[in-house]
Structures are given as structure tokens and as C-alpha cells.
Structure 1
Amino acid sequence: MLKLFASLVVLLAGVSPALAATSTGMALGVDPAARLEGKQGTKTLVVGTDVFIGDRVVTDAKGLVQIRFSDKTKLVVGPGSSLVIEDYLLRDDGSGGKFAINALSGTFRFVTGGAPKDRYQITTPTGTIGVRGTAFDFNVRPDHFSLLLFHGAVQMCNKAGKCVTVDDFCDVGMADLSDARLLGNTNSFVGAERTSMRGMFPYAVSESDLLGTFRIAQARECLNRAVVPNNPDAGGGNPGGDGPRQPPPNGGINGPVTHVPG
């Protein structure tokens, strides 16, 4: 790990001003196998690889990519996933754009950076995610997409224009071709439903594969805390109670985490 961190420092120090002005982000963590498909062809992703507008990131069943963009937005591309960087806040010609990605399939984590929140847009095969300054995990499948919120708020809309706002800690939303709806708080899911959620949002179960900067304080509380089905104070979606949801300590993403070098 120390060798990996030293290599990363060298790579960051060696990026020329001209290259830094045109690249949108850099891969800070990569586990085999992952590749980048871009204008220059296909190449294996490694730590320090620059990512540009138009690039497609693809991982196999064991792949993992952790990208930090120049505005400090963070993106995790989990195993068996693919996405395309469609636009970025500052294009190659100096004009302004949006932070736009097309998440084609798989598991992801997204944390916004310093840009205005209305400049972020995530597209999926069945709808869009409008970001309002937030941190969340999401899962994309051919017929629907799901989202687990940690901080801030998002608007999930399907292609038919039906939308739902997700704005509470540990709330889950889903959108498909027919509807967009709030499924409830993770504290309300038990049995097979809870097992399914743990499979869709693996980084809310364990962050051991993530670098420290990609970890979110309190994220693991959503799917690892004890279930209290009928507690009226436990949060939304609980059978028999609609009491107030409990917010994460320290504002969600700013609490203490154990950092891995890098």
C-alpha cells in the first residue's frame, strides 16, 4: 500500500499543466480488471490514468475504479459496471458544460464536488438522477435503477416524466419505465428485502475495498444497524409508524472515517 501511495504522488506531481487542463479526472484506485475505452482506443486502467469526456469505464466481475474529478467530485465504479463520461464542467475548448455521466449498468457511489448542484446529471437506461448536492450509492439494471441516499437530496425521474424526491438519510428510491417511487427507509426492510438491498448497495455494507477519501461517514449504518420494525421513532417506512427519521451524526459525509493512504 505504501508503494501504491508513493507511485500516486509521483504521478500527480508529473502531470503537465496542459494535460491537467483537458482531463476531467484521475483514477486514484483501481482493482483488476478495469478498462478505459476512449478516442485513443482501449487500455487497461491503472492508478494515475486520466479520464476524459467521451471515455467509457468498464469493469469485470472483480473490477473496481475510484475516480476523483478536478472539481473534487468522487465516483466509484463497482464490479460488473460500465458508464460513459458524456460532458464535464470545463470542456477542452474552455466552454462551460455539465457534469454528465451515462451509467449503463452496475453499482456506483457518487459524491458531488464544488460545482453548482444543478450542473450534475446522471442518466440511466430507464431515467435520470438530478443531483442537489449529495452523497449516495446507486444500482443500475436494464429495467430499473435504485438509489440509497446518505446526504443531501436527489430527484429520480423515469423516461415517462414521473419523479420522486429522495431527501432523508438511508432512504431508498426506485424508478422504472412505469413509475418512480420512494421504497422507504432501510430500517423498514427485513428478510429477503434487506438481503436484496445489501446486494444492490454493497458499499453501504462494507467500505473495506474503498480508499479513505471515497468512504462516507455513517453510510454503513443504513444496512448494518439493527432492525426495529415497529419503533415509531426509527424512521420512514416503518410498519405502524411515521415518526421522524434520525439524521446521521455530523452532517452525513463529514464525520470521522478511517483513511487508507491515497
Structure 2
Amino acid sequence: MRRSIPIAAFAFLTVCGTALAQQVDVGVASTVVNRVQGSVGARALKTGDRIFQNENIETGADSRSQLLFRDETVLNVGPDSRVTLDRFVYDPARGGSGAAVSVGRGALRFISGNMPSQSYEIRTPAGSIGVRGTIVDIIVYENGEVVLQLIEGALTFVDLNGRTVSLGKPGQVYILLPGQEGTLGNTLRPKDRRRLAGLNTAITLDELFPRPPQLPRSPVTNRPQGGGTTTTTSSDPPTTFD
């Protein structure tokens, strides 16, 4: 019975390795902070891990990740988010490039890469986004509500009823629920700002490599003249001699 445990573990690792080997490699998790799961091989992603076509990427609370694709497209994925890498083909020599990403929930920033603009599609529960040299922030709430904020470039959104809206000015915001007509404006709501907070700030070394807890200072015991002891905590640097 005891011998079956390592055999089972070996079999599990073999299956996981085979699953990874059979997938289409589309890029890399260039940064991973805290808990980020990849569906291929049911693995916890680490910085530098490959990512694959048709893979689901999920971040936990207080977690985030940056995904870098072969054409230099970038996805910054915020906390408590789910993204599916539906399709990615980058073949500039043959002109057969294309990418599709689905946002199931959460917040992300999409930065388009080196493919032609018409090659990109971002899918949401309320419709799809086409981009033109674009940086766009996207929020998908649990009820399917979608919020778009254009940062740079231009985009076109086609909702589930075939209605089309274009955003061409940085700062424009479009909000809609599935099956309903959206509203175009220039201001995020407080809950939208909270959802995007921290998504696009620089990831610090302390987040990637948390500092170990500091040990308490060692007490220093002095023996004054006349007997008795006093205990103090030293905060001065050590004395050095040339």
C-alpha cells in the first residue's frame, strides 16, 4: 500500500507534464503576486511560467499578474479576476495572426502588441471589443456589468444586440449590462475606481519578495556603579575602527 503513494504521485506529475507539452505556448506570466492559478495542469503560476492557448487564468484576493504574449501584447490582471486565453496565433511572415481573450470577471488592463489592429478581440459577457493601437481598462462585475475606460488609442464595442459604440478619446468610459443599451461618459463611478485601484501601479520588490518578519532587538544590560542593573534597547549602529 505504501508503495502506491509515490507511484500515484509520479503518474500525476506525468499526466501534468504531458498536458503542458500538448498545449500551444502563447506567452509567459512575467509577474505573479500571491495566488494565481492556471488551468493547464491545474498549477499555481510562478513568475516566468509559460501560459497556453485555451488556458483559464484566475487570481485570488490581493493577487495579480502580468501576462506577456509573443507579439508583446500585455494583460495586467487584477485581484479576484478570471481571464481565458481563447486563441493566439502570431505568424507575421504569413499574415495569419490573431488573438482572442475572454474576461469572465474582475479587472484588467489590455495593451495591444505588434499584430494588426483587426487581429484582436476581447470578449465580455455583454459584447466584444475590437481595438486600434489601444490601451483599455476593463471591469466585469459578478452580474455581468461591463465597464470600459479608454486610456490610449481607440476601440469599438459591439453588444449582444449588435449595437456598436466607438471610443476614440482618452478617458472615455462606457458602462452597460448584458442585453441593455450602455451609457457613454467621461467619469468612473467610485466602485469602478476602487476595482481598478492598484491594477496598473508598478509591482514592487516587496510584493514579489516579501521581507521576513524582523526579530525583536536584543536587550543590552548595563551595570552602573553602586550595584543594580538597568536594561536598555540599543538602536545605535555598531562602532567601527579604522
Per the normalisation by structure 2, the TM-score is: 0.68
Aligned equivalent of 2:228: none
Instruction: Give the superposition deviation at 1:182.
Output: 4.3
Distance 1:112 1:106, change over 3 A: same
Gaps of 5+ in 2: 1-20, 206-242
Would the aligned equivalents of 1:148 and 1:201 in 2 still touch at CA under 8 Å? no
Which protein is richer in helix relative to its size?
A: 1
Give the letter for the 2:134 counterpart: T
> In the alignment, which of 14, 24, 27 is matched to residue 25 of structure 1?
27
What value does the CA root-mean-square deviation take over the aligned residues? 2.5
Give the letter for the 1:209 counterpart: I
Distance 1:73 1:151, change over 3 A: same
Gaps of 5+ in 1: 1-18, 212-262
> In the alignment, which of 31, 36, 39 is matched to residue 37 of structure 1?
39
Paired residues for 1:190-205 under 5 Å: 193=189, 195-203=190-198
Give the letter for the 2:111 counterpart: V
Would the aligned equivalents of 1:127 and 1:175 in 2 still touch at CA under 8 Å? no
Aligned equivalent of 1:61: 61
- The 1-side partners of 2:181 and 2:67 are apart by 29
Q: For 1:183, what is the secondary structure of its paired residue?
A: strand
- The 2-side partners of 1:59 and 1:101 are apart by 16
Distance 1:132 1:179, change over 3 A: farther
Instruction: Give the superposition deviation at 1:27.
Output: 0.8
Aligned equivalent of 1:209: 203
Paired residues for 1:1-262 under 5 Å: 22-38=24-40, 41-90=41-90, 96-141=96-141, 142-186=143-187, 193=189, 195-203=190-198, 207-209=201-203
Instruction: Give the superposition deviation at 1:177.
Output: 2.2
Aligned equivalent of 1:16: none
Task: Look at both structures and tell me which one has the larger radius of gyration over its CA atoms.
Answer: 2
Would the aligned equivalents of 2:122 and 2:128 in 1 still touch at CA under 8 Å? yes
Distance 1:152 1:138, change over 3 A: same
Instruction: Give the superposition deviation at 1:179.
Output: 3.4
Would the aligned equivalents of 2:97 and 2:115 in 1 still touch at CA under 8 Å? no
- The 2-side partners of 1:200 and 1:158 are apart by 22
Instruction: Give the superposition deviation at 1:42.
Output: 0.4
Q: For 1:143, what is the secondary structure of its paired residue?
A: coil
Summarize deviations over 1:5-51 as a string: whole Å, max 9, x none: xxxxxxxxxxxxxx9xx52111111011011001xx20011011101
Would the aligned equivalents of 2:28 and 2:68 in 1 still touch at CA under 8 Å? yes
Q: For 1:207, what is the secondary structure of its paired residue?
A: coil
Would the aligned equivalents of 1:59 and 1:80 in 2 still touch at CA under 8 Å? yes
- The 2-side partners of 1:119 and 1:151 are apart by 18
Q: Percent identity?
A: 28
Instruction: Give the superposition deviation at 1:176.
Output: 2.1
Distance 1:174 1:105, change over 3 A: same
Q: 4+ residue stretches of structure 1 with deviation over 4 A?
A: none
Instruction: Give the superposition deviation at 1:95.
Output: 9.3
Summarize deviations over 1:160-215 as a string: whole Å, max 9, x none: 112211111111112322334343113xx6xxx3x2231232247x614379xxxx
Summarize deviations over 1:118-177 as a string: whole Å, max 9, x none: 000011122111112200111012322111111111112221112211111111112322
Which protein is richer in strand relative to its size?
A: 2
- The 2-side partners of 1:182 and 1:167 are apart by 15
Give the letter for the 2:135 counterpart: A
